Chains A and B, each alone.
Chain A
Amino acid sequence: MITDVLTAVALYLAIQDFNKVVFKKQKLLIELDKYAPDVAELIQTPMEMHYIPLKVALFYLLNPYTVMSCVAKSTCTINNSVIAFFILATIKGSAFLSAVFLALATYQSLYPLTLFAPALLYLLQRQFIPIKLKSKSFWLYTMQYASLYLCSLVVIICLSFFLLNSWDFIPSVYGFILSVPDLTPNIGLFWYFFAEMFEHFSLFFVCVFQINVFFYTIPLAIKLKEHPVFFMFVQLAIISIFKSYPTVGDVALYMAFLPVWSHLYRFLRNIFILSCVLIFCSFLFPVLWHLWIYAGSANSNFYYAITLTFNIGQILLISDYFYAFLRREYYLTHGLHLTRQDGTEAMLVLK
């Protein structure tokens, strides 16, 4: 519970700082005339952004998923707390602390490794270093940050080695996360997939599923290099959906960020259906679990179906927010009222 409160406090301070950064950037872009003339209603004002940090902290603390993780005494709250401190350190601009917290998060579960890219992009932006592959200062800063991160990771792993006097913990912890030997049902997609997998293809599909978590990083980095905090949000969501043993605590962490993008609400296409899907699935999970395990009148397929639906709901939620974000960016630069060549109102499509 203490870690939950710490996470909420860290997120509050982080978003407060982020709001200031966003506001500053917006002001700069308005002064530079980068925005189209009729987008006044899309610009975020300090008035509406005032309560966002509080909303973020409350979204996290009052989320039923967070409460459930707390009651279950899951170590997920510790993971969330470390990631929240990492986000706070990154937004404040301290590369050293950010690297240390990221190393701690990676040490606990392997997947926060992918958060290295958004953190790096944010810190580069903060130092006003342009992201060009030929730029010397870019590579210098990247090397600095990477070495800080790797050194802290090595220090933590060596500390573990000295505590245990053997390297056995590496296959037990990281080998376990990567090879998914335990098939206890959870809210993710892996368990039933590997329970029903033909032995011959097991290794192939383990590799495919693990690569699936990591390989969205580079394309997202290329697309979202101007918006590293949104990149971090999408990356966090991908980790919580596709990690090998997801829990509701991971879902609670990225859902805490949704108030930060409440200005995207008008561009979301399926928000009502998706929120219904997520709420229904959350209620059906314990029901169908009980029917399978205790009543014996359902079988594992029922629970598996809810798992599938819940994950589809999460995936579509994230891609909806991504779509809304990109659409807003387009409107900011091209104007809100689009007209075709003949003056009639235009539709916007992805091509």
Chain B
Amino acid sequence: SRPRSSLRVLSDAQHSGLTLPTVSHYRLFPKALGRLVAALGVRELHLALTQGFWRTRYWGQPPLQAPAGAELWVWFQPTVTDVDKAWKELSNILSGIFCASLNFIDSTNTVIPTASFKPLGLANGTDHHLLRYAVLPREVVCTENLTPWKKLLPCGSKAGLAVLLKAERLFHSSYHSQAVHIRPICRDASCLAVSWELRQTLTVVFDFFSSGQGKKDWSLFKMFSRTLTDTCPLASQSKVYVDISPKNKEKELLEVSPAPTSVHEAIVQGDKKTYAVYDLLSPSLFNTSRSLNVQLKWKRPQDTEMPIPTLHAQRYVGGYGLQTGEICTLIYNTHPYRAFPVILLETVPWYLRLYVHTLTIITKGKENKPSYIHYQPAQDRRRPHLLEMLIQLPANSVTKITIQFERALLKWTEYPPDPNHGFYVGSSVLSALVPSVTAMKDMDVEQSPLFASLFPSSDGSSYFVRLYTEPLLVNLPTPDFSMPYNVICLTCTVVAVCYGSFYNLLTRTFHVEEPSRGGLAKRLANVIRKLRGVPPL
């Protein structure tokens, strides 16, 4: 298996009724979210809080990636009249529920994508004015965010798989991402009834090499310092999947213990994978000992080569100085013979003024013209830049997208308390249908494990993937923060110099000077002059 683990905890709420029913049975579905969805007319909600960045080159294709910080995107129902007001209320309420600073989401970091974030649940008609997307790259994720997330689970963290989720081990990781997805889904294949689905995902990467443990063997106890003891009584399914896919058709490379209840083969992310499945509800699992500690040992030393994913990207800031800069995005298509298009969504804050006429897309040395561009320029202090492009990536190529920008000087109150740290630019989003290595047939769709079914697949020959690039850290020129009073005084002095000179010239007239008797100072000076022998004043 790969030296990482991802836990998917799913809880579905079932309620019979017509299309998009109101949630009123809170046996499994948390009441806080149910009331929220009903009151604000939400059709789909996706919230992700992430610490760290997924290293696609080392860890492979991510199962479900989220950008660093907080990401929230919501589809509202067509009955909502004032979407912006509902969005503001929603972000404030979610900020309270998850103890995250989502209340900083306002019009300066919210965009309305036109092509990137299509609904993942049932949808009839997609007017993109009902969609809102915001990302807060500076948001930090910690224990206070994990606790309310755990509270949404039907059994909390007291029973079932969630007993493993203790904060001190989870945050000792290279990547930590927790997400909440709410969407309407069909209850069964015939789609006669619709219900709300709440999907909570937690993706954690334990990097044992960096923590100095050397070998790549792992166990549940080693990762979480806990073992599984029982299942949640409310769960209809409780399974642990361990990826034991053989690489290069070599068998007997690794060994899992205890023996799994079954071995399941599925096509996940376009590739055939073998899973050792531990069904926690089966009585045979817990009869010897009351605890289950899944362990994996490598039989032979394994090379550290990970298969390079078909689509990956990186982004960086170029240029020097505090005046201008350049955002460069590199997108790699490593498929040997298939080309496919990718939608790139960039949200740049208003204080980095993009020059769209400098946008260049170069593939294999030649210019690559996107087939769809949607650009919404920023308005100062009101909304950010939005750039969406559909770019065709030829097979086995690197595409370089560059755009130049200029940095603005902000008012001194608009800088954060550590202004020289820099300003974050949120990750850009790449959405693509990547060609699969192994085509997926219809029956495979029904048998696919729950963790692979978030993204709908229209046909089996490609799978949907959403990637995020690195967030950027950009320095802006800063004024001197210790100087407000001095600046006001000096500038007003200059204005007063002008006023004074002009006042003198406008209100006074020239006169011949009349000889005056001289004041005290002059007489004293004359006395001293007489003593010196110099003519008097």
- Could you tell me if B511 and A322 are in contact, using CB atoms closer than 8 angstroms? no
Q: Taking the nearest CB of chain A, how far is it from the CB of B528, in angstroms?
A: 23
Q: Are A212 and B495 in contact (CB under 8 A)?
A: yes
The CA of A46 and the CA of B508, in the complex, are separated in Å by 32
Per-residue CB contact flags for chain A residues 168-196 toward chain B (1 = under 8 Å, else 0) read: 00000000000001111100010111111
What sequence of 0s and 1s flags, for each residue 486-503 of chain B, a beta carbon within 8 Å of any chain A beta carbon?
Answer: 011011001101110110
CB distance from A205 to the nearest CB of B (A): 8
B498 & A195 in contact (Cβ 8 Å cutoff)? no
Q: Which residue of B lies closest to A296 (CB)?
A: B322
Q: For residues 446 through 494 of chain B, which have their beta carbon under 8 Å from a beta carbon of chain A? A: 477-480, 483-484, 487-488, 490-491, 494
Residue in A closest to B380 when the chains form the complex, CB atoms: A181
- How far does the alpha carbon of A192 sit from the alpha carbon of B115 in the complex, in Å? 41
In Å, the complex CA distance between A323 and B321 comes to 44
CB distance from A46 to the nearest CB of B (A): 28
Q: In which size bucket is the chain B interface?
A: 35 or more
- In this assembly, does A240 line the interface, its C-beta being within 8 Å of a C-beta of chain B? no
Interface stretch (choices A72-80, A247-255, A343-351): A343-351
Please tell me if the beta carbons of A319 and B501 are within 8 angstroms of each other in the complex.
Answer: yes
Contact assessment for B480 and A301 in the assembled complex, using a CB-CB cutoff below 8 Å: yes
* Interface residue B337 (Cβ < 8 Å from any Cβ of A): no
CA of A256 to CA of B488, assembled, Å: 32
Per-position 1/0 for A181-220, Cβ under 8 A of B: 1111100010111111111000000000100100010011
B381 is an interface residue with CB less than 8 A from chain A = yes
Q: Which segment of A85-93, A97-105, A134-142, A309-317 sits at the interface?
A: A309-317
B321, B411, B497, B499: the one contacting A294 at CB < 8 Å is B321
Which A residues between 318 and 351 are near B, CB-CB below 8 angstroms? 319, 322-323, 326-327, 330, 338, 340, 342, 346-351
Instruction: Mark each residue of chain B from 376 to 417: 1 if its CB lies under 8 Å from any CB of chain A, else 0.
Output: 000011000000000000000000000000001111110000
Nearest-CB residue, chain B, relative to A193: B491
Report which of A292, A308, A347 forms a contact with B494, defined as CB distance below 8 A. A308
- Complex interface: chain B residues within 8 A of A348 (CB): 510-513
Q: A59: CB under 8 A from chain B?
A: no
Flag if A327 contacts B483 (CB, 8 Å).
no
A133 to B490, CA, bound (A): 40
Measured CB to CB, the closest approach of chain B to A135, in angstroms, equals: 24
Residues of B within 8 A of A304 (CB): 487
Find chain B residues with CB under 8 A from A185 CB. Answer: 409, 477
Cross-chain contact of B510 among A195, A296, A330 (Cβ < 8 A): A330
Within the complex, the shortest CB–CB distance from A197 to chain B, in Å, comes to 7
* Chain B residues within an 8 Å CB radius of A312: 494, 497
List chain B residues, Cβ under 8 A from A311: 494
Q: Are B505 and A198 in contact (CB under 8 A)?
A: no
- For B409, what are the chain A residues with a Cβ–Cβ distance below 8 Å? 183-185, 191, 195
Residue A300, interface by CB 8 Å: yes
| A11 adjacent to chain B (CB < 8 Å) | no
Q: Is B82 an interface residue (CB 8 A)?
A: no
Give how many A residues have a beta carbon under 8 Å from the other chain's beta carbons. Answer: 53
**B124, CB-defined interface residue at 8 Å:** no
Contacts of B484 in A (CB 8 A): 196-198
Taking a contact as CB atoms under 8 Å apart, the answer to whether B505 and A193 are in contact is: no
Q: Are A349 and B511 in contact (CB under 8 A)?
A: yes
Q: Does B320 sit within 8 A of A, measured CB to CB?
A: yes
Contact B501 A315 (CB under 8 A): yes
* Residue with the greatest number of chain A CB neighbours at <10 A, chosen from B504, B512, B514: B512
**Measured CA separation A194–B501 after assembly (Å):** 25
Contact, CB under 8 Å: B483 / A301:
yes
A350-B509 CB under 8 A given contacts A191-B409, A194-B411, A195-B479 = yes
Chain B residue at minimum C-beta to C-beta distance from A215: B499
Residues of A within 8 A of B502 (CB): 216, 219-220, 319, 322
- Pairwise interchain contact A351-B509, C-beta atoms closer than 8 A: yes
Give the CA-CA distance A242 to B498 in the complex, in Å.
Answer: 10
Question: Hey, which chain A residues are within 8 Å of B380, CB to CB?
Answer: 181-182
- Interfacial chain A residues near B508, Cβ < 8 Å: 350-351
Contacts of B323 in A (CB 8 A): 293-294
User: How far, in angstroms, from A351 to B508 measured CA to CA in the complex?
Assistant: 5
Q: B507-525, CB under 8 A of A: which get 1 and which 0?
A: 0111111110000000000
Given A196-B479, A308-B491, A349-B511; A322-B498 close (CB under 8 Å): no
On chain A, the residues within 8 Å of B483 by CB distance are: 196, 301
Asked if A195 and B506 sit within 8 Å, CB to CB, the answer is no
The reply on A147 being an interface residue by CB < 8 A is no
* Distance of A227 Cα from B320 Cα, bound (Å): 52
Q: How far is the CA of A326 from the CA of B488 in the complex (A)?
A: 33
Chain A residues with CB under 8 A of B478 = 299-300
Per the bound structure, the CA–CA distance linking A242 and B497 in Å amounts to 13
- A8 to B: closest C-beta gap in Å: 29
> Is the CB of A223 closer than 8 A to any CB of chain B?
yes
Q: Considering the chains assembled together, what is the distance between the CA atoms of A351 and B512 in angstroms?
A: 9
A351–B510 Cα distance when bound, in Å, is: 6
B297, chain A: closest CB distance, angstroms: 53
- Please report the C-alpha to C-alpha distance between residue A220 and residue B499 in the assembled complex, in whole angstroms: 12
Of A216, A293, A299, which one neighbours B480 at CB under 8 angstroms? A299
Q: A347 to B320, alpha carbons, bound, how many Å?
A: 59
Q: How far is the CA of A143 from the CA of B408 in the complex (A)?
A: 45
User: In the complex the two chains form, is A192's CB within 8 Å of B479's CB?
Assistant: yes
Cβ–Cβ contact B480 & A326, under 8 A:
no
Distance A350 CA – B321 CA, assembled complex (angstroms): 51
Is A241 positioned at the interface, with any CB of B under 8 Å from its CB?
yes
Residues of B within 8 A of A222 (CB): 506
Minimal Cβ-Cβ distance residue in B for A220: B506
A-B contact pairs, 6 of them (CB 8 A): A183-B410, A185-B409, A195-B411, A301-B483, A308-B491, A351-B509
Known A195-B479, A315-B498, A349-B511; 14 more pairs at CB < 8 Å: A189-B494, A194-B411, A197-B484, A222-B506, A223-B506, A293-B477, A301-B480, A312-B497, A319-B501, A322-B502, A323-B505, A330-B510, A340-B515, A347-B513
Interface residues of B (CB under 8 A from A): 320-323, 380-381, 408-413, 477-480, 483-484, 487-488, 490-491, 494-495, 497-499, 501-502, 504-506, 508-515
In the complex, the 10 A-B pairs of residues with the closest C-beta atoms, listed nearest first:
A319-B501, A294-B321, A196-B484, A350-B508, A196-B487, A347-B513, A315-B498, A330-B510, A346-B512, A193-B491
